[in-house]
Amino acid sequence: GENVEQHPSTLSVQEGDSAVIKCTYSDSASNYFPWYKQELGKRPQLIIDIRSNVGEKKDQRIAVTLNKTAKHFSLHITETQPEDSAVYFCAASWGGNQFYFGTGTSLTVIP
């Protein structure tokens, strides 16, 4: 089955700086890679996703890059704000079927 690794597990940045979270996956058949943000006690919320036919996708301060050959993808948050503080999960799936999540990154943005 698919195995997704995520790094770092915790990340602290100063407000205004950038944050980068990296994930690797094992199954070359995976073709859909969403990123979710989860605040304490709340449901995961989709923030951005990327499909395997695209190398990069951007949505305002958030971007995701995908390297299919190396089987890794990354989340980039620029101009971080305190409200970006949360746990971020990457996931990999084939066709939107079973999602296999990474272990999560707890991001703290220091004002």
**Structure tokens belonging to residue 32:** 């859909």
- Provide the 10 A C-beta neighbour count for residue 1: 6
Stretch that binds another protein, among 12-20, 54-62, 65-73, 89-97 (CB under 8 A): 89-97
State yes or no: residue 89 binds another protein (CB under 8 A).
yes
Single out the residue of 36, 98, 31 nearest to residue 71, CA to CA: 31
State yes or no: residue 103 binds another protein (CB under 8 A).
yes
- Provide the 10 A C-beta neighbour count for residue 35: 24
- Provide the 10 A C-beta neighbour count for residue 42: 10
State yes or no: residue 102 binds another protein (CB under 8 A).
yes
Strand partners, 36: 46, 89
Least distance in angstroms from the C-beta of 103 to another protein: 5
Sites for another protein among residues 26-85 (CB under 8 A) = 32, 34, 36, 41-46, 49, 51
Q: How many residues bind another protein (CB under 8 A)?
A: 26
Binding site for another protein (CB under 8 A): 1, 32, 34, 36, 41-46, 49, 51, 87, 89, 93, 95-104, 106
